Amino acid sequence: MLRMISTDSLKTPNIFFTGKGGVGKTSTACAIAVALADQRKTVLLVSTDPASNVDEVLENEVGTSPTKIRRIENLWALNVDPDVAAEQYRERMIGPYRELLPEAAIASMEEQLAGACTVEIAAFDEFAKLLGKPDLVEKFDHVIFDTAPTGHTLRLLTLPAAWTGYIGNNTAGTSCIGPLKGMIAQQKLYARAVDVLKSDSLTTIILVARPEKTALEEAARTSEELEGAGLQEQQLVINGVFDQSANSDPLAHAFYTRGDLALQNIPNTLTKLKQNRLPLKSGQLIGINSLRGLLSDGDLPAIQPDSFAGILPPSVDTLIDKFSSLKRGLIMTMGKGGVGKTTIAAKIAKSLASQGKDVLLATTDPAAHIRQVVGEGSKYLELAEINPAVEVERYRNEVLSTTGANLDENGRALLEEDLSSPCTEEIAVFQAFAKTVETATEKIVVLDTAPTGHTILLLDAAQSFHKEVERQARMVPQHVLELLPRLRDADFTFPIICTLAEATPVHEASELQNDLRRASIHPYAWVINQSLAPLTTNHPVLSSRKNQEHRYIREVCDQYAQKSFILPWLEEPLASENSAKTENCRHIA
């Protein structure tokens, strides 16, 4: 039985939505914002997602200050643009010193603020202003945060305590996020933000998932981590629950069975939360009326048949055939979280290994579920993962034993404080990423990368963090120097953009492609995953969603992809092909 969301349960002024990428956080957050505004509550919807699509869902351009939404009273929205915030943050930190310090000192400070960590702390700085300064949002009854995919959300929501601790422990006078004096000025603001987050009367966390095993497990992990951080007031929304309605259609039955199995085995952590279930609807969740319809009992208007201009893209098996002559090289599956990068990477890796090719399937995604997806390994298939905790410890020991070996006590203390920076994790992961790419000179490496924002940070690291590596280790490892040339070598690296035949995943994938091209990295192909288009169904909801896919498949083929392939919706997860546990696993060395 579906339990629809009741806005009566949302009493707190601050409401956060979080969940695995692709589960419908933005649509649900926007629908709740509209519902509260319809009740004459004044609402501010805030996106802190680097890949925000609030503009698209609301059909309204949204700026970096509260923007009034057309066609509805009482609703405003704003985007926190991490890049703009980072530039403003850098100048706020460095500006006061430009006339006081030598040019070399300013250059050093600018270098310290060149990393992706600066983007995160700058975005948090904006986020903290809203939580820590009530006067900025006192005109609103509710502030709703449409947060980023789960990994980024956890970083964002745990930044207050992390940075506050770093400020308190730093004695060297500088950090990778700016001069210590500049950080102390924000300490009270950050402390206030922490208090607001932990207050049951001020903040509610809404975890969003789909009736899928991995999405529910991710929601459970998120719940536990946030509860451990002191965020107790939590609710659960399960989006897209499919009702078979006694339909005999085989695809509808398989669709229902897969979702029902996941719901029957919901993790215990989630059973303790207030739970709401939203049905899978026929129409698109774009526009104010559609958002109202998401929380209603009725269905959305069905999408009518639209003849596809031309044949569908070939199967992903055709893509794999193109790699049959490959003996070495790097295949990277890339895209927003939730589009099935892991499934596609695993399918490619397993297929190539079945041909007797030596294949390494690796992940840099902190939210990956690679073991569930791959199943049993073979003598030709090796699994590896980059564990951030392991890499940080290895990196710290490496720097302390080299650069730190000949330093006096004060110099070593300064180096240790520098290595306490959150940037250290990103540098360490970046080095491990580079080592994985180096492995592709000897075998085929299939790299299952992280959700879009994190992927861009990793690729940005290839260009930006070599300066930080050189500053701390006094040398740039050979595999780091060779990383970007290898990523740009079209005969060595084969980036595959993964998407779904839906509006937001396609548009975000096109933005990812643009970012890659600006770095002179050109995608080899696109894969449209979990598609209903090649399948047959007479269920009205599935038929409508199948019809809806055609326009986005055309968009990919006509506007974005030089080569495009399709992977149909799978009745069983890829892992079910082999039920035994993977034995041939290791961490990246």
Topology alike, domains 7-80+138-163+192-294 and 316-587: yes
Q: Which residue out of 18, 21, 25, 453 is catalytically annotated?
A: 25
Find the DSSP H helices in 59-115: 82-94, 103-112
Give the contacts of 461 (CB within 8 A, at least 6 positions apart): 115, 116, 426, 427, 429, 430, 433
Tokens of 21: 């990428």
Q: What is the model's pLDDT at position 151?
A: 36
Q: Are 366 and 425 in contact (CB under 8 A)?
A: no
DSSP string, 511-534: HHHHHHHHTT----EEEEEEESTT
pLDDT of the residue at 327? 92
The pLDDT of residue 310: 63
- How many whole angstroms separate alpha carbon 467 and alpha carbon 448? 26
Residue 259 annotated to the active site: no
Q: Please tell me the predicted confidence (pLDDT) of residue 561.
A: 96
| 24 included as an active-site residue | yes
The active-site residue out of 19, 47, 49, 337 is 49
12, 18, 20, 22: the active-site residue: 22
Q: What is the CATH number of domain 7-80+138-163+192-294?
A: 3.40.50.300
Which of 12, 18, 27, 364 is catalytic? The answer is 27
Question: Which pLDDT belongs to residue 270?
Answer: 96
Residues 6+ apart with CB under 8 A from 80: 46, 47, 48, 64, 123, 126, 127
Residue 207 bridge partners (DSSP): 18, 236
| 49 flagged as catalytic | yes
**Number of Cβ atoms within 10 Å of the Cβ of 470:** 14
Q: Which two tokens stand for residue 485?
A: 């040339």
Model confidence over 335-359: pLDDT tens digits?
Answer: 876 788 888 998 999 999 999 999 9
Residue 426: what pLDDT?
Answer: 64
At residue 360, φ and ψ (nearest 5 deg) are -115, 120
Question: What pLDDT sits at residue 52?
Answer: 67
pLDDT less than 50: residues of the chain: 1, 148-167, 170-174, 179-181, 450-459, 462, 465, 575-589
- Indicate which residue of 21, 24, 335, 404 is catalytic: 24
Give the tens place of pLDDT for each residue, 446-487. 988 643 333 344 445 545 545 555 555 555 567 666 777 888
Question: How far from chain centre, in Å, is Cα 199?
Answer: 26
The pLDDT of residue 436 is 83
316-587: which CATH number, 1.10.4030.10, 3.30.43.10, 3.40.50.300, 1.20.1540.10? Answer: 3.40.50.300
Question: Domain ranges in the chain?
Answer: 7-80+138-163+192-294, 316-587
Is residue 504 part of the annotated active site? The answer reads yes
Tokens (6 digits) for 135: 């006067």
How far apart, in whole angstroms, are the C-alpha atoms of residue 226 and residue 298?
A: 34
Q: By C-alpha distance, which of 146, 143, 129 is closest to 42? A: 143
pLDDT in the model for residue 42: 95
Q: Give the Cα separation of 184 and 457 in Å (integer).
A: 27
Q: Out of 12, 18, 26, 493, which one is annotated catalytic? A: 26
Is 26 assigned a catalytic role?
yes
> What CA–CA distance (Å, rounded) separates 529 from 569?
7
Model pLDDT, residue 469: 55
pLDDT in tens, 111-166: 666 655 566 667 667 777 887 767 777 889 999 988 743 333 334 444 444 444 44
pLDDT at 462: 46
Catalytic, out of 504, 531, 543, 544: 504
